[in-house]
């Protein structure tokens, strides 16, 4: 097969998105020094609508749709996203390509006084627009006030520093904070028992066209098999639950000695009810295990939570 001499990467223009796309570019050039790789920045609907919570304007696809359109019509050869931004269903003709090794998947608390979650003052105001984070925060600390907070990572950090809306703290993905060199700002890594991460959190999604084997072959050098198995298991869990940003769903899969262990939950918006369980099995069966865990949670009562949330969302 004749290998392509150049590739165009589609990406959002935020600092974190550009860091991720540049990482992929550098990794490819390291493997193929003669390869020309260009970045094409694309503004998504999610970048334009910053004053409305994600759950009210369409959820995960807000950050990828325009980039996927560029991929489908050939303006770019691949797209680089944060895996946690990816909908469970991809457009016809596109697929998840290689998945590089995952960064820390957990969430972190960044507080103005550098306090951990347990020591934040009564009724402290915490910024997040993630229903998943809000539900788990309310479950852990019902006294806290959750404040809607949109914008890219550095925008949210600036709002915290300016004490906008009297914010005491914000919750962010550890991966983004670390990738932008802001690890010194972290007040606490939130344990999975308190804050289970989003599906795919910490992993990159390299999205490609199904009918482009040349690009797929070249990109395969970036794949990390155990990360891929874990993430695909999490995404199978999400897909079975028909998850979106309108529903508090979380999952984290790990690989230990060839075994895939998946921890997942479904919560109601106020965090009063959380249905959570684990499943494990062969690494090669991660997607089957994801579906199996989703079925288990549905049988434990997650179906009632989902029905209620979907009814509320359609009103």
Q: Give me the active site residues, please.
A: 85
CA pair distance 100, 193, nearest whole angstrom: 26
Class of residue 296 by CB neighbours under 10 A (exposed 0-12, middle 13-18, buried 19+): middle
- Which residues, listed in sequence order, are joined to residue 251 by a DSSP beta bridge? 264
CA pair distance 70, 68, nearest whole angstrom: 5
Task: Find, among 195, 194, 196, 281, the residue nearest to 238 by Cα.
Answer: 196
Whether the CB-CB separation of 198 and 89 falls below 8 Å is answered with no
The contacts of residue 26 (CB under 8 Å, 6+ apart) are none
């Amino acid at each position: 097969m004749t290998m392509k001499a150049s590739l165009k990467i589609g990406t959002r223009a935020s600092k974190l998105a550009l860091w991720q796309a540049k990482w992929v570019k550098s990794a490819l050039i390291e493997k193929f020094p003669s390869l020309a790789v260009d970045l094409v920045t694309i503004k998504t609907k999610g970048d334009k609508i910053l004053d409305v919570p994600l759950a009210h304007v369409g959820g995960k696809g807000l950050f990828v749709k325009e980039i996927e359109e560029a991929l489908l019509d050939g303006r770019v050869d691949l797209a680089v996203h944060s895996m946690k931004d990816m909908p469970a269903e991809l457009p016809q003709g596109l697929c998840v390509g290689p998945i590089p090794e995952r960064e820390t998947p957990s969430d972190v608390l960044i507080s103005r006084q550098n306090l951990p979650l347990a020591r934040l003052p009564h009724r402290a105001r915490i910024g997040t627009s993630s229903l998943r984070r809000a539900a788990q925060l309310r479950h852990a600390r019902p006294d806290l006030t959750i404040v809607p907070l949109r914008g890219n990572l550095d925008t949210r950090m600036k709002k915290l520093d300016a004490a906008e809306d009297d914010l005491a703290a914000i919750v962010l993905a550890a991966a983004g904070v670390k990738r932008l060199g802001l690890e010194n700002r972290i007040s606490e890594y939130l344990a999975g028992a308190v804050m289970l991460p989003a599906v795919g959190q910490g992993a990159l999604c390299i999205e490609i066209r199904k009918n482009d084997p040349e690009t797929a072959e070249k990109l395969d050098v970036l794949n990390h098999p155990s990360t891929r198995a874990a993430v695909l298991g999490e995404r199978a869990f999400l897909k079975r639950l028909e998850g979106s940003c309108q529903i508090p769903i979380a999952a984290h899969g790990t690989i230990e000695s060839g075994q895939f262990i998946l921890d997942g939950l479904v919560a109601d918006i106020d965090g009063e009810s959380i249905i959570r369980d684990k499943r494990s099995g062969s690494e090669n069966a991660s997607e089957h295990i994801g579906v199996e865990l989703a079925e288990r949670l549905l049988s434990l009562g997650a179906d009632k939570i989902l029905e209620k949330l979907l009814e509320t969302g359609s009103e």
